[in-house]
Each structure stands twice: as structure tokens, then as C-alpha cells.
Amino acid sequence: MSNKKFGKPISQRQLRVGEMIKQSLGMIFVRNEAKVPELETNNITVTEVKMSQDLKVAKAYVMPLGGKNAEETVEKLKKYSFLIRKTLSKKIIMKFLPKILFAKDDSFDYAEKIENLIKQTNK
């Protein structure tokens, strides 16, 4: 596994911190603790969190339950990321709490596309 930007392998520390943030964000969303306006976060799944080399940026891949309104959900999370980060700061003790960037997780769509292609070739 390597980081495309720098060509360096991902460190154990990046993996550990990413997993810790993923679990914490998951708990915050399940309990609706961030109080994001007009968004019920308890139906949002955090599928992966990738950390930058310096651990100052966390890219969180999210997907709402059933994939409904994914773009709108991600936009609201981006808009109110400061609220989520503030809630996260009470759960995780780090020298520098990373900035959180939210992105829609397209891996399910990609997997479904691959599966359909395999089914087509097997016919």
C-alpha cells in the first residue's frame, strides 16, 4: 500500500490514527453528537479514513445508508466539518487534531460495476 502523492508507503502510525479517527467519527455519527443542522448523521457510515503523511489532514470516505442523497450528505458534512471536528476534539487527544475532508465513498459503486461486468462475461 503506498501513498500516491509522495510515493512513500503508508506508515503504521498513519493507519492507526486513521482507524482511530474512523471509529470515533462512526460513534459521533451514530449518536448524532455533532448536531449537524438538517442532517441525521446516525445513518452515515464511515468506510475509510486516510491520513496525510504529517497526520494533519484526514480524508474520511462516507456513505449514507442505502446510498441515498450521498452528494447532499457529503456537502453538508463539508459545510459543517468544524462542528464535527470540535466534537472529535473531545474524543481524541492528539498534538494536532487533523483537518477533516469528507468524500463520497465510490467503492460500492465500483464493486457493483465490476460484478456486473463479470456477470456479463459469464453469460
Successive 10-residue mean pLDDT values, the chain, 123 residues: 60 93 95 91 92 94 87 93 94 90 85 81 79
Domain annotation for the chain: domains and CATH numbers: 12-122 (3.30.300.20)
Output the CA torsion 79→26→70→120 (10° steps).
150
> What is residue 65's predicted lDDT score, i.e. its pLDDT?
85
**Vertex 37: Cα angle to 31 and 38 (nearest 5):** 95
> What is residue 116's predicted lDDT score, i.e. its pLDDT?
81
> What is residue 107's predicted lDDT score, i.e. its pLDDT?
78
> What is residue 111's predicted lDDT score, i.e. its pLDDT?
74
Q: Does an H or E element contain 74, and which?
A: helix 70-79
> What is residue 6's predicted lDDT score, i.e. its pLDDT?
53
